[in-house]
Structure 1
Amino acid sequence: MTKRNHTTYALLGLITAGYQTGYEMKRMIDQSLNHFWKISYGQIYPALRQLTEAGWVAASPTLSDKKPDRKEYLITDEGQKALHSWLEEPINGIASEKNEFLLKLFFSKEEEREKTALKVKEYQRKLEERLEAYQAIEQSILSCSSHSKDREYWLFTLDYGKRTTSAGIEWCEATINRLNGKEGTNG
């Protein structure tokens, strides 16, 4: 079994969750996975072609009266084995996050503290927007009549995002207080 990159396994996982066309996969990625795993539209079809060539998925054309013909992908037994093998591999480490805001903050001694505090406040606002988006996603997942096995794990992943975002908001409040000379206060 050939080892692939993580995007390969993300696509295999999406297929097992019922997303069978490249378009459906891209929509799910945009609505969910992109919050923690970036996959561009340009990566999807080449990866699906590689998965097909490897025998991990089978592609079948679907005819449509209204839309152009499309391919539906189904995971094969070999693909299932590959996905299970990848899931069983140990985690190599915690990925480092690239965050332009933190990079700028790291060097912010070069600007006035008030300007830095405004940047932190803006970052906090964006985190609050993200938290609202996560809450909307959660309501969407919970309102679905489907009680698939995926649902519980999607909610676990979403909970991680909500908790880390909430922690980020708290960090912003504390940092703004410190920048404004109010080190002992929390709000």
Structure 2
Amino acid sequence: MKKYSHTTYAILGILTTDCKSGYDIKQLIDNSLKHFWKISYGQIYPTLKLIVEEELATVRVSAQEGKPDRKEYDLTEKGKEVLQNWLENPIEQIPVERNEVLLKLFFSRHQSKSNTLMQLADYKQKLMKRYQTYSGIEQAITTHDHDKEDAMYWLFTLDYGKRITKAAIGWCESTIKQISEKGNA
């Protein structure tokens, strides 16, 4: 079976939800997937075009008064099969995190201790905001989407994000403490 990009598989998966238009797909990405999988707006429409060309989805156009026509996409049986095949295969590799604060910390011998501490404190604040965002998303799912078939799986991915973020906050606190306790560097 032909291999596709992870973006293609992600959009095939999104099409199993109530999201059927490019705009709806972008909204779902912005409100959930972006926290663990980046897809730019510029990737959505070319991927949708490819999905239709490969007969993984169909597109229907509906007129909207005073707006451009709305294109809505539905998975074909072939599209469902491609998605299921991808889902059932093991992951290819453990993801490698790209983290600017870790990169800067690795070379922090070449900057002032106070700047290193400032960067770590800033990172911790951003992580705390992210944790609050995740808590808000969790509340929204348990309040408004608890009856959806996907809700349990959404909450599992959210739990992963919350745990990783909480661990990163703890790492910041420990690292800040250790750097602060060292002499002038």
Q: TM-score range by the shorter chain?
A: over 0.9
Partner of 1:143: 143
- Contact 2:145/2:151 (CA < 8 Å) preserved in 1? no
Structure 1 residues 98 and 145 mapped into 2: Cα distance closer, same or farther (>3 Å)? closer
Q: Are residues 1:114 and 2:114 paired?
A: yes
Give, in whole Å, the separation in 1 of the partners of 2:165 and 2:87: 26
Cα RMSD, aligned residues only: 1.1
Map Cα deviations across residues 84-109 of structure 1 (whole Å, 9 max, x no partner).
00001111121101111111111000
- After the TM superposition, which residues 30-179 of structure 1 pair with which residues of structure 2 at under 5 Å, given as runs? 30-145=30-145, 147-179=147-179
Give, in whole Å, the separation in 1 of the partners of 2:69 and 2:98: 39
The Cα shift of 1:139 comes to: 1.0
- Contact 1:117/1:179 (CA < 8 Å) preserved in 2? yes
Q: Give the AA of the match of 1:89.
A: N
- Runs of 4+ in structure 1 deviating by more than 4 angstroms, as ranges, are none
Q: TM-score, normalised by structure 2?
A: 0.95
Aligned residue pair count: 182
The Cα shift of 1:72 comes to: 0.3
Question: How high is the sequence identity, in percent, across the aligned residues?
Answer: 48
The Cα shift of 1:146 comes to: 5.3
Give, in whole Å, the separation in 2 of the partners of 1:153 and 1:146: 11
